Amino acid sequence: MIRLFAALAIPEDIGLALQARQTGIEGARWRPLEALHVTLRFYGEIRQDVARDLDAELTTIAARPFSIELEGAGAFDDGSDIHAVWAGVAANAELSHLAEACETAARRAGLKPEKRNYKPHVTLAYLRRPDPAEVGGWIQANNLLRSPPIFIDRFGLYSSHQSRDGSHYRLEAEYRL
């Protein structure tokens, strides 16, 4: 079994600017530079043969290069259930098309459909029982976040390996647009 997801890498200069915002929430597990990405579709734990089928399907995706911009900040869940803070991604038709194509590839490879609505973002930290006021203050301080355009001409299939230090990601395959 292998844990996989499709994602867009964040360029180092944008990642360094995001890392400068990784402060102000006690106990936050801030994500390292190499872990910053925009997930297109999380596939989860799948068998190796299904992973090969998924790779074959992802190679058939036809899309043109495009640009995205990071915009705003937020959190998943609320109150004591908040479990992550993130930088948002501005609405983008090309990004939505690519995410839908990654979903279609998953279905063609035999995976179950994703039930959650797609919310493009870059996770900056994972949280465990944070102070909601601290998280609210962080969101307010970072809500005007805006990046320069990020040119996207490829996406990747990444594996995720869990450890005591958190998840570590490895690029398994890359697909040009």
Q: Which residue has the tokens 């998840």?
A: 167
Max CA separation in the chain (angstroms): 46
Residue 158 and residue 171 in contact, taking contact as beta carbons nearer than 8 Å: yes
Per the structure block, which two tokens stand in for 56? 């074959």
Question: In terms of DSSP bridges, do strands 154-163 and 70-76 run parallel, antiparallel, or are they unpaired?
Answer: unpaired
Catalytic residue among 97, 121, 161, 168: 121
Q: Of how many residues is the chain composed?
A: 177
97 catalytic? Reply is no
121 catalytic? Reply is yes
Q: Which residues pair with 75 in a beta bridge?
A: 85
Q: At residue 94, what are phi and psi to the nearest 5 degrees?
A: -65, -40
Residue 108 and residue 60 in contact, taking contact as beta carbons nearer than 8 Å: no
Nearest to 42 by CA among 7, 94, 9: 7
Q: Which of the residues are catalytic?
A: 37, 121
